[in-house]
Structure formats: structure tokens, C-alpha cells
Structure 1
Amino acid sequence: MKDSIIKGIKFIGLGFLEPLIRLICKEEPKKNTKAVMRKIVAPIASIFIFIGLWQLGSRSLYNKEAEFKIEAATRNQGEEEAAKLKACMESGDSNCQPNTLPSPTQVYDAYQTLLEDHRQISADKEAFAEKTFEMNKKRVAQGKKAITYTGRPSFVDQIKTSLKTVFAGFLLALFIAVPIGIVLGLSETLRGSINWIIQIFKPVSPVVWLLLVFMIVKTLTKNSDSDSSFIISFISVGLCSMWATLVNTAMGVASVNTDYINVAKVLRLRPLQKIFKVILPASLPLIFTGLRITLSVAWMVLIAIELLAQSPGLGSFVWEEFQNGAMDSNSKIIVAMFVIGFIGFALDRIMLFIQNLVSFEKETI
């Protein structure tokens, strides 16, 4: 039972819990207690230390900004106005608070505000759907387009939009990079002749890819009703992130053990059979390493691309909050920062899980 649990948590990328399981089962208490302290207690303690340092830093910056504002009020408006400003700050009135790094409490409050906003927008969408249900049935029956909700998206809606975009971009990168990588891996001559293209385009900035894709897509979708901003975003993400998969696939195919190739020759496998039954299974560890990097890069560049393209998503949310300049805007930006980080971590764990599921070489990184 114990070994099955340990094998399972390792399989899903939670190998750091192994010493805790062994300690619960009273196996080598001294050794596993040290391992639990190192792998579980120390990371948890570091979280509290991080929050404590964040709180201290936030308070320090708040005091510094508050002193600056009071000094400026004293110089420009006199002692009386400065005293009023100080009293207003101490009262907690949001209209006169220094706009600086928010505290952990303020960020949590902003998180709650965003969730409440999502619940309100979801309720509005449901009410709209109920009101327009019968009307839309008639419009669809007449061959007309249904009336859709056009209100602003909530924070959760923008997370969903970003995930949809990143997965579309990831699939595009997968379908471009893996076949080309296999072809390059099979031919040393072709690999050498194409390598310069990879080395030139691999470091190109997401901004450049976005502008290039924008020029092409805008021309091709001029008379189309399709969502061009989504198309531009996911194609830009795919082109920015595909290079790690392309390089790793080519390396994986090129480094397949020659004994496997000789066995395929002996069995007289056709080219496609050789690729799917011999080359791809042997190359999977390197291919999945490339896919993990591609997904991570896709998620990182997505935020920048959404920000630049002003397409719906987390990048657009961060930019709008930055432009908004409200008292809780900084807190909402930090909420988005944590959400982006957690989602990026979760995506990497999902890829690791899939890699362990289909590959004969297990990884726990």
C-alpha cells in the first residue's frame, strides 16, 4: 500500500511528499524527519517569511510615500492642509492613501473583489440569457445571428480566454514543430542546411512576431467575421514558442540508438511504421522536454502579446488596471501576477504528468 502511494505521488509530480508518507508509516523516523523538515517544513516556512518581508517592504514604502506627500502638502499648501492630509491617511480613507506597493491583506481583498465581480457578471449573463432565450430561438429559426452578451468580461473570464489562447498556440507549435523536427532529425544534410533558419528566428522577440502576424492576418481576414484578435494572438504565441520543441525533436530523432534503426531494417518496416513504432517512442523523452519548454514559453509570451495586441485575456487585464490608476489597481495587478505564476506551474506539472504517462523515462523535476 505504502509503495503504491509513493509511486502514485511521484507519478503526478508530488515526490516531495515521499518522506512524509514514509514517516507516517514509521519507516526510518530520524532520516525521514530530516527529509520532511528539508522538503516540506522549510518551503512552508519560506512562504511565511516571504509574506512577512512583503508586509515589511509594503509598510516601509507606504511610510516613505506618505512622508513625501505630507512634506509636499506642507510646502505647497501649509501646515493646516498637511495636518488634514495626515489625518485622512490615518483614517484609512482610500481617497488620500499613497498609491504604492500593496500589502498582502490588500491583495487578498482585491482577490475577493475580483471573485465578487465575477459572480455579479455571471449573474448578469444568466439574466441576459433568460431574457433573450425566446428571441434567439426565433432569430436562429429565421437564419439570423443570435444576440450575445456584450458586457465586459470578468477576471475569471479573462483567465479562460488566456488559457484558450495558449492551448491553441501550443497545439499550433506542436503540429508545426514535431513533424519538421522529425524530418530534420532523419536527415543530417537537411538539418545542417536548415539550422541557420532556426538560429535566426529562435531569438526573435514576441513583439516582432506579433507585428508580422498582425500584418498577414489583417489582410487575410479583411472580409471575414472571425475573431482576428484571437487568431493573431494564438498564431503569435505558437510561432514564438515552437522552437524548443523543434530543436529537441530533431535532436531526439537524430540520437535514436542505431540498434533500433537496424532492427527496423531487419523487420523491413515501412518509413511511417519505422517513425511511429521505433523513432518516436525512442525520442519521446526529448520531445516532451521540448514540449514542456514550449508550453512555459507560450504562457510567458502570451501575457506580453495580449498586452501589446489589447486582445482579451490576462495581459489585457494587467494593462487596463495599470492604465486605470485606481487605489486597488496595484493589488489587482499582483493578484494577476500570482494567478499567472500558479497557472504556469500547473501547466508544467500537467505536461510532466503526461510525459510520465507515455514515456518509459520518468522525470520528477
Structure 2
Amino acid sequence: MATAYANIAEPADTQAAPSAASAPQTARAPEAASSSEPSAALQAFVARFGLTLLAPLLGILAFLGLWAALAPQVDTSLGALPGPVEVAEQGAVLFEEWQASRINAAQFYAEQDARIAAGTQTMSFDYAGPPTFLDQVITSLETVALGFGLASLVAVPLGLAAGLSPMFSAAINPLVQIMKPVSPLAWLPIVTMVVSATVSSADPMLAKSFVISAIVVMLCSLWPTLINTAIGTASIDKDLLNVGRVLKLGTFAKLTKLVLPSALPYIFTGMRLSLGVGWMVLIAAEMLAQNPGLGKFVWDEFQNGSSQSLARIMFAVIVIGLIGFLLDRLMMLLQSFASRNRVA
């Protein structure tokens, strides 16, 4: 390195004048460097494009090809296993049924308004048509939103308390370990009996089936959030807590200024896991309890036994998976937004 530095720092009068042969080489060196930079950037872009879009697309196409090739060879009691085309066709049929239902509902309300205006009818009624596939998707989303919200309201405070207090953590740890592996199928009859005995109104604000499914989702999905929040809170740098004691911060100020910002990544990781668990639990609860939603749709189609039922069930399975994926992406966006605000 000393030699190189000496050569660079050598005075100009001691250096030999560049020859005519070496002059063009010195002029071409920057051009070669500038041409290599775009090629490296292009290679990086192609590699990133392949990993983020091309490789997943090829994987999906390969799966669809295997599905289309193997499905006709699988015989069931309802006929051959439907392939991707048949499943997509039933998805289009379900959408058309939803459109027809909207038209019938609009016509029903228009005729009802006309009768009320004419004085032949005094009371208004809701459209009582059967729920369509999209209606049941919305019902399932509303149910999992309520159950996940209740689970977060219970799990985050308990996790913060467990992370800050070793005594409280030791006290609730056996209960958490016992309750965590309980199946939703075991919770469902207990919750059904409790809600049926508690909600005695003939016209409750929320339907009993809706409340039952939401509570089952809450009981099965709160544990990942509770455990991750407790771990994140317990792993906070003790120096931060000591600074809070020196500054004589109150409990609320310590939670909002020190504890929550530090434990936020753990909390969101637990909430992502809880949301995924809640979505899986909801489908099973709706299927078993015959509550409105995607689970009931799958069970009804299974009991229907028509030639299109299997394709409809498989379409519902794909929709369930896509919704679960989108819910996870939504939680990732919320986590990024919260972390960006925290850093700012």
C-alpha cells in the first residue's frame, strides 16, 4: 500500500510522458467501467424479478399443470376430481348467483317501497333470500375481525403484565400452557351453551351464531399474541427501564414511551400468528356449528352431493387460502406502518 501511495503521489515532472499507444487505453478505461455498471444493475434487476415474480409464477403454473393432469384420474362418489377449469367455472357461477341475488333484492325493496307508498303495506321487511357465496365470505370476515379484536384486547395487556412481572408470568404460565392446545371443537359446545344461556333476548343486537363463532375464535387465537407480547416485553433492555425509574415516569408513560415501542415487533408477530390461527379456527367452527359463513357453505355443498358440489368446495378452499394470505399481508403492512411511525 505504501508503494501504491508513493506512485500516486509522485510529482508530475518525474513521470514519463504517456506514449501514443497508452493514451487511447487511458481514455477507454472510464468507458469500460461505465458500461459494466448498467450490466451489473440489469443483472441485479433480472435476479430480483425472477425471485419475486417469475419463480412464484412458474411454481403456480406447474401446480396447475399437475392438477389438470392428475385430476381426471381421481374418481370420487361425485365423479372425477374437477380440474382448474371446472373450479374456475364454478367460481364464475357463484359470482353470477350473487349478481342475481342483488337484482332480486333490489326488486324486492322497490316493490315494497311502492306498496308502502300506496298504503297497502305498513311495515318494511328485510330481503330473506338465501345467502350467496360472497355474502358468506363477508360474514366470515366480520366474524374473524370481531374474534381477533377481542383476542388482541385480552392478550396484549396480559402479555405486557406477564413480561413486566415475573410473578404474574409464573402465575399464568400453567393456565396458558393448558388452554393453548385446546381444540376449537372442544370450546364450541361450551361457548354455545354459555352464550345461549346469557343471550336471552328474542332480537339481540348480534346473532347468537355470530357471537359464538367470534368467541371461539378469540379463545383459540389469543395465545400467540399473549406469548409473543410477554417475550418481547421481558426482553426489553434493562437500561431503558432504569432510565424510566431515574426520570420517575409513571406507569402509563413507561408503557407508551419505553415498553410498547420496544416490544412492538414481537406484538405484531404474535398478532399475525393469532390472525392466521383465528381464520383456520373460524372455518372449523362454522362448519361444525352450522353458523353462517364459509365453513357452512363448504358443509352445505358437501351435504348437497350434486355434480358441481366438489368444484364449489375446491373453489371455496382456494378462496379461504387467498383470504388468509391477504390477511397476513395486511398485518405485515400494519406492522411496517407502525414501525415507521415508531422510528420517526
TM category (shorter chain) comes to 0.7 to 0.9
> Percent same amino acid among aligned pairs?
42
Q: Is the 8 A contact 1:264 1:274 kept in 2?
A: yes
Which of 139, 148, 158 is equivalent to 2:126?
A: 148
Q: Is the 8 A contact 2:78 2:310 kept in 1?
A: no
Unaligned runs of 5+ in 1: 1-24, 66-96
The aligned counterpart of 2:298 is 318
The aligned counterpart of 1:116 is 96
CA distance in 2, matches of 1:27, 1:263: 48
The structural deviation recorded for 1:210 is 1.2
The structural deviation recorded for 1:98 is 5.8
The aligned counterpart of 1:183 is 161
CA distance in 1, matches of 2:126, 2:78: 41
Which of 46, 49, 61 is equivalent to 1:36?
A: 49
Q: Report matched runs for 1:115-264 at 5 Å.
A: 115-133=95-113, 146-226=124-204, 227-264=207-244
Against the structure 1 CA distance between its residues 41 and 267, is the aligned structure 2 distance closer, same or farther, given a 3 Å change threshold?
same
The structural deviation recorded for 1:47 is 1.2
The structural deviation recorded for 1:136 is 7.0
Q: What TM-score do you get using the length of structure 1 for normalisation?
A: 0.78
Query: Cα RMSD over matched residues?
Result: 2.3
Which of 292, 295, 299 is equivalent to 2:275?
A: 295
The aligned counterpart of 1:59 is 72
Against the structure 1 CA distance between its residues 360 and 264, is the aligned structure 2 distance closer, same or farther, given a 3 Å change threshold?
farther
CA distance in 2, matches of 1:238, 1:270: 31
Say which is worse superposed, 167-176 or 51-60, in terms of deviation.
51-60
The structural deviation recorded for 1:166 is 0.4
Letter in 2 for 1:36: F
Letter in 2 for 1:244: P
Q: What TM-score do you get using the length of structure 2 for normalisation?
A: 0.82
Which of 239, 247, 251 is equivalent to 1:267?
A: 247
Say which is worse superposed, 262-271 or 328-337, in terms of deviation.
262-271
The aligned counterpart of 2:307 is 327
The structural deviation recorded for 1:135 is 6.2
CA distance in 1, matches of 2:334, 2:251: 27
Letter in 2 for 1:328: Q
Which of 82, 95, 106 is equivalent to 2:86?
A: 106
Query: How many equivalent residue pairs?
Result: 301
Against the structure 1 CA distance between its residues 138 and 263, is the aligned structure 2 distance closer, same or farther, given a 3 Å change threshold?
farther
Q: Residues 256-301 of structure 1, C-alpha deviation per residue, up to 9 Å, x if partnerless?
A: 1111111111221111111112111111000000000000101111
CA distance in 2, matches of 1:45, 1:104: 16
Letter in 2 for 1:120: A
Q: Is the 8 A contact 1:136 1:147 kept in 2?
A: no
Q: Is the 8 A contact 1:206 1:236 kept in 2?
A: yes
Q: Residues 124-181 of structure 1, C-alpha deviation per residue, up to 9 Å, x if partnerless?
A: 1111122223667999xx9x7x411111011000000000000000001011111111
Q: Does 1:347 align with 2:327?
A: yes
The structural deviation recorded for 1:336 is 0.4
Letter in 1 for 2:314: I
The structural deviation recorded for 1:42 is 2.1
CA distance in 1, matches of 2:249, 2:117: 56
Which of 58, 63, 66 is equivalent to 1:50?
A: 63
CA distance in 2, matches of 1:228, 1:203: 25
CA distance in 2, matches of 1:39, 1:232: 40
Q: Residues 12-64 of structure 1, C-alpha deviation per residue, up to 9 Å, x if partnerless?
A: xxxxxxxxxxxxx87522343234334422221111111110011112225xx
The aligned counterpart of 1:10 is none
CA distance in 2, matches of 1:162, 1:138: 39
Say which is worse superposed, 328-337 or 34-43, in terms of deviation.
34-43
Q: Residues 196-246 of structure 1, C-alpha deviation per residue, up to 9 Å, x if partnerless?
A: 000000000001111111110010113342210001010111111000001
Against the structure 1 CA distance between its residues 137 and 193, is the aligned structure 2 distance closer, same or farther, given a 3 Å change threshold?
farther
Say which is worse superposed, 29-38 or 302-311, in terms of deviation.
29-38
Against the structure 1 CA distance between its residues 108 and 258, is the aligned structure 2 distance closer, same or farther, given a 3 Å change threshold?
same
